[in-house]
Amino acid sequence: MQVYDAPLRDMRFVLHELFADDGFGGLKKFEEFTPDLLDAVLEEANKVAKDVLLPINAPGDIEGCTYENGVVRTPKGFKAAYDTFREGGWASLASDPEWGGQGLPESVNKLVEEMICATNVSFSLYPGLTHGATTAIEGHASDELKHAYLPKMVSGEWSGTMCLTESHCGTDLGLLRTKADPQPDGSFKITGSKIFISAGDHDLTDNVIHLVLARIADAPAGVKGISLFLVPKFMPNDDGSVGARNGVSVAGIEHKMGLKASATCQINFDDATGWLVGQPHKGMAAMFTMMNTERVSVGVQGLGINEIAYQSAVAYAKERLQGRSLSGAKRPDLAADPIIVHPDVRRMLMTMRVYAEGCRALGQWCARALDAEKHSDDPEVKQRATDFVALMTPVVKALFTDLGFDAANLAVQTYGGHGYIREHGVEQFARDARIAMIYEGTNGVQALDLVGRKLPANMGRNLRPFFHAVSNLCEEMAPKQDKALKAYTGGLQQAFGALQLSTATIAQKGMKDPEEAGAAATDYLRLMGLVGMGYCFLKASKIAYAKLAEGAGDDEGFYKAKIATAGFFFDRILPQATAMFLAIKSGKRSLMALDEAAF
């Protein structure tokens, strides 16, 4: 029983209320997008998610993609759904109008992405990879390539991929062997094989545009010698139509535990014609433009699965009868009470709820910074947003996907035996969610990126927007007399203190021994994420109390629920910060003590 209806009231809250004073300021570029207009976009997106994507989610998982005689096909209904999606303009929502996009804020786009991922995360990969590819092309390709490819990619007529991984190298891209031979006309012949290529080939679009990492002859060794190339499946004709087949072929599709309706391909490039994107040997910088976009989007995948897992578990818990409430029968008219009366079921449901609401709020803060980074007219604000995005990207990717998988598992547990079988649909959530912790850089790699690159960069400047925001809110809220707000503020202050001490510990030990930083990385990322969620919940509670004091009318229930949800977070989730600080403080000793031969 896959149950979903977009949490539109909470989405409107994080979009319009929670970050009105986010420090990034209003952006002139988006002044024409009124709250009413943006709300209408969200409402229409919800209809597409519920009515078009959700109905093909479970059937698509059962059928999966097929590969026969070099041809890849998506499950029944996917082509029609993609056509509806593209024709409705959803593929171009946040793209630049110069290339046919609608130019909406990324803050709105991420909420729409959440709906798509919640109802059909396999489907989300097809337009999602394309959006990431257009970002890299727009940022680094020549004008000729932009004009030749962006309009059709932005419209969704053509799709995009990124081709990084090879069978002998995953994250360590310096080992890749795909080669690029320069041609007299300025193009390159690309030869090599790639694996794990999401949306690598399919029957949804007329052409697939691959962004491929390869090495030009005599290039420097390692990542410093990698270049990025645009390689189409079909060569475009002068009029923009699809022409002859390029030297690109599918060797097979991966047989995965989840995301079965997403075609993950093994692709061969045999003297395929491609064009350089960006500068020679600077391919990683260009590809990271796409990868960072995709990492935030993968975090949203975790959030989307979290939300549908929560809603499905709530629906089941309200209907499933088993046992009686420990405080006495709540439904004496029935043979047993619904399981939602039981404290441990409430623990699971509330955990899923706070994960979803906390990640949504934190994700929206990051999305607003993405908008400011790209569109602010104030250089100081632009720099602050850039620093914030750099810091939070690994946190969003890793935290959201960790918690999304946890929520999917809790949904299975809520359903009990029915959760373990296919018919109810929640076991699919767990299988689909699991990959998000791995691809686009495993969550361990994200943690290493955070402590190894993002913390020391620019003498710790990346930390300032985040630390200053949390510190200022705690200082503002400390004098408040309300008992609940006082308790919430105290909890955040304690967790923030643990984060500050952990930061100092990593800086001190990591300079002497990089393994110390590596040993602390995963706990540190989770600690930073929890503090970020705590900031959002305290801020939300402050707003909710103010709205209730004014007289919230029809929204009274929403604001009361927001305060109650925050209470669970501060009581049951945020105290984990203390344990993480103690683990970080313990250092690498016990982690590295066991001799390799003893494993």
User: How is residue 478 annotated by DSSP?
Assistant: T
Alpha-carbon distance of 19 to 222, in angstroms, equals 42
Residue 202 token pair: 């399919």
Nearest to 581 by CA among 498, 486, 470, 507: 498
Q: How, if at all, do strands 188-198 and 179-182 pair?
A: antiparallel
Neighbours of 383 (CB within 10 A): 16
Alpha-carbon distance of 451 to 52, in angstroms, equals 41
**H or E element: which one contains 207?**
strand 207-216
Residue 440 token pair: 């686009």
Report the amino acid identity of residue 509. Answer: K
**DSSP SS3 for 228:** strand
Alpha-carbon distance of 7 to 67, in angstroms, equals 37
Active site residues: 440
Cite the DSSP H helix spans in 171-229.
Answer: none
| Strands annotated E in 384-486 | none
Alpha-carbon distance of 172 to 174, in angstroms, equals 5
**H or E element: which one contains 270?**
strand 264-277
Alpha-carbon distance of 597 to 88, in angstroms, equals 59
